[in-house]
């Protein structure tokens, strides 16, 4: 069934790829995006992401936090895919009001208008995040399944980066987090993503419309910002390697993430949009595999053919978690999702794209200096 679909943040990394996929599937797509310079650069209308959708979708330049802009964007829409958000764990810990205004305030305004205006919206899909779990799910040899709280800075300053059982204090082992894992966000960003998904699911259920929250893991691939120093270690590392700058590996290099390729994220999101029948639920979206940061750095260096110093510094950012990996049982069962691109193939595709892009100015040290001034980088 052909739908009229609004994508907020539809000129971004995930949004632009999703918009093109939905158009290819025959849907009518409208995009609302502010073209933020942190994502699109100083001349946003010349950005690769924006140009990829230009002329292929109906585009409205505006903010999800503006009632007037939403009044232009919502009429006639059957489905709203809400991707517009500020991202970045570290930055969220000091740009607190801004993250709250955009992520929480923008979502509240969007839902308020859907609830109170005569728009024909029948489904809302929101981009949530693995950040809602905080440290997530672990196994203790003495107490079985446990859900640890955020690691303590004093332990990490002494080189102890492990996650400990909250009951006995012994190091615990990572277990894939399912959707029943208690939500304990460890950053302001995680808090705002949790608020977004809870509002969408609650309002969707109350209004009798479908509402889906996708808890994306670490999404990567061609098209992600290579100039944003606040988020995405693949972009940060590749930019530093191409600038012949050294790589600072935080903690002990064994911290890991669930890296999921952009095509898989777009595929499962499109499945959710096209899912027939009522559904109000949240889903993990990842690869189901944890890859440590040291492996990522070494692989990128090999693929880019640039030898730069790699230092395991023991430094850390306040609010960072140790590991994350998604349990995909639920999304497999309900939406039939199966990740198709493994980390080796995905990194090869990513670097093939990177090599065709202009080398960006490396602003990573500036971002760390900013965090250090705020007491958020140790």
Residue 245 shares a structural domain with residue 287: yes
pLDDT at 102: 96
pLDDT in tens, 337-359: 999 999 999 999 999 999 998 88
203 with 83, same domain: the answer is yes
Mean pLDDT of the 239-249 span: 91
pLDDT of residue 15: 97
Q: Based on the fold, state whether residues 365 and 276 are members of the same structural domain.
A: yes
Residues 38 and 98 in one domain: yes
Residues designated catalytic:
189
The predicted structure's pLDDT at residue 41: 77
Q: What is the pLDDT of residues 173-187, one digit of tens each?
A: 999 999 999 999 999
Q: How far is it, in rounded angstroms, from Cα 44 to Cα 58?
A: 17
Whether the CB-CB separation of 229 and 366 falls below 8 Å is answered with yes
Q: Are residues 242 and 315 in the same domain?
A: yes
Residue 31 φ/ψ, nearest 5 degrees: -120, 135
In a domain, 378, yes or no: no
pLDDT computed for residue 348 by the predictor: 97
Q: What is the mean pLDDT of residues 244-261?
A: 95
Distance in Å from the first CA to the final CA of the chain: 52
Q: Is pLDDT of 43 > 90?
A: no
Work out whether the CA dihedral 293, 139, 318, 104 comes out positive or negative: positive
Question: Which residues constitute the domain of residue 155?
Answer: 138-175
Residues 311 and 297 occupy one common structural domain? yes
Q: Are residues 205 and 302 in the same domain?
A: yes
* Torsion angle defined by CA atoms of residues 226, 14, 218 and 126, in that order, rounded to the nearest 10 degrees: 140
Confidence category of residue 166, pLDDT binned at 50, 70, 90:
very high
Closest CA to 137 of 165, 168, 169: 165
Sorted by sequence, the CB contacts under 8 Å of residue 333 that are 6+ apart come out as none
Is residue 352 situated within a structural domain?
A: yes
Assess whether 160 and 291 both reside in one domain: no
Whether residue 341 sits in one domain with residue 317: yes
Ramachandran assignment for 180, one of left (phi > 0), alpha (psi -120 to 50 degrees), beta (any other): alpha
**Mean pLDDT of all residues belonging to the chain:** 94
Q: How many domains does the chain have?
A: 2
For position 13, which CATH number holds?
3.40.50.720
Residue 98 falls within a domain, yes or no?
yes
Q: Half-sphere exposure of 106 toward its Cβ, with a 13 Å CA cutoff?
A: 27
Both tokens assigned to 131: 């950040």
39 in the same domain as 17: yes
As a whole-number percent, the residues of the chain with pLDDT over 70 amount to 100
Q: Is 260 a member of any domain?
A: yes
Report pLDDT for 315.
94
Q: Write down the pTM of the prediction.
A: 0.95
- Considering the domain architecture, whether residues 163 and 277 belong to the same structural domain is answered as no
Q: Cβ(132)–Cβ(179) under 8 Å?
A: no
**Which pLDDT tens digit goes with each residue over 178-234?**
999 999 999 999 999 999 999 999 999 999 999 999 999 999 999 998 877 777 899
> From CA 247, how far away is CA 259, in angstroms rounded?
19
> What's the rounded Cα separation, in Å, for the pair 111 and 348?
40
Q: What is the pLDDT of residue 227?
A: 78
């Amino acid at each position: 069934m052909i739908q009229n679909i609004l994508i907020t943040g539809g000129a971004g990394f995930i949004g632009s790829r999703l918009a093109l996929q939905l158009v290819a599937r025959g849907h009518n797509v409208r995009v609302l995006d502010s073209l933020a310079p942190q994502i699109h650069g100083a001349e946003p209308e010349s950005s690769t992401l924006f140009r990829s959708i230009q002329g292929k979708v109906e585009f409205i330049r505006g903010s999800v936090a503006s009632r007037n802009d939403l009044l232009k964007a919502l009429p006639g829409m059957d489905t709203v895919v809400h991707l517009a958000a500020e991202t970045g764990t570290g930055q969220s810990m000091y740009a607190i009001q801004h993250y709250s205004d955009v992520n929480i305030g923008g979502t509240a305004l969007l839902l308020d208008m859907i609830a109170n205006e005569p728009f024909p919206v029948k489904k809302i899909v929101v981009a949530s995040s693995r950040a809602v779990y905080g440290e997530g799910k672990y196994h203790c040899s003495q107490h079985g399944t446990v859900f640890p709280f955020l690691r303590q800075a004093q332990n990490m300053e002494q080189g102890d980066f492990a996650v400990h059982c909250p009951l006995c204090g012994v190091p615990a082992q990572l277990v894939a987090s399912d959707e029943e894992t208690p939500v304990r966000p460890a950053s302001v960003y995680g808090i705002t993503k949790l608020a977004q998904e809870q509002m969408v699911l609650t309002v969707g259920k109350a209004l009798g419309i479908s509402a889906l929250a996708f808890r994306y893991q670490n999404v990567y691939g061609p098209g992600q910002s290579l100039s944003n120093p606040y988020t995405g270690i693949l972009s940060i590392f590749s930019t530093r390697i191409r600038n012949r700058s050294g790589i600072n590996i935080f903690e002990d290099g064994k911290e890991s993430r669930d890296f999921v390729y952009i095509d898989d994220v777009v595929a499962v999101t499109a499945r959710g949009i096209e899912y027939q029948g009522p559904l109000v639920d949240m889903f993990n979206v990842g690869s189901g595999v944890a890859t440590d940061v040291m492996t990522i750095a070494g692989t990128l260096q090999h693929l880019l053919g640039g030898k730069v110093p790699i230092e395991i510094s023991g430094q850390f950012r306040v609010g960072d978690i140790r590991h994350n990996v998604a349990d995909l049982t639920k999304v497999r069962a309900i939406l039939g999702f199966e990740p198709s691109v493994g980390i080796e193939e995905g990194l090869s595709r990513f670097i093939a794209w990177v090599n065709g892009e202009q080398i960006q100015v490396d602003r990573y040290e500036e971002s760390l200096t900013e965090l250090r001034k705020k007491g958020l980088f140790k």
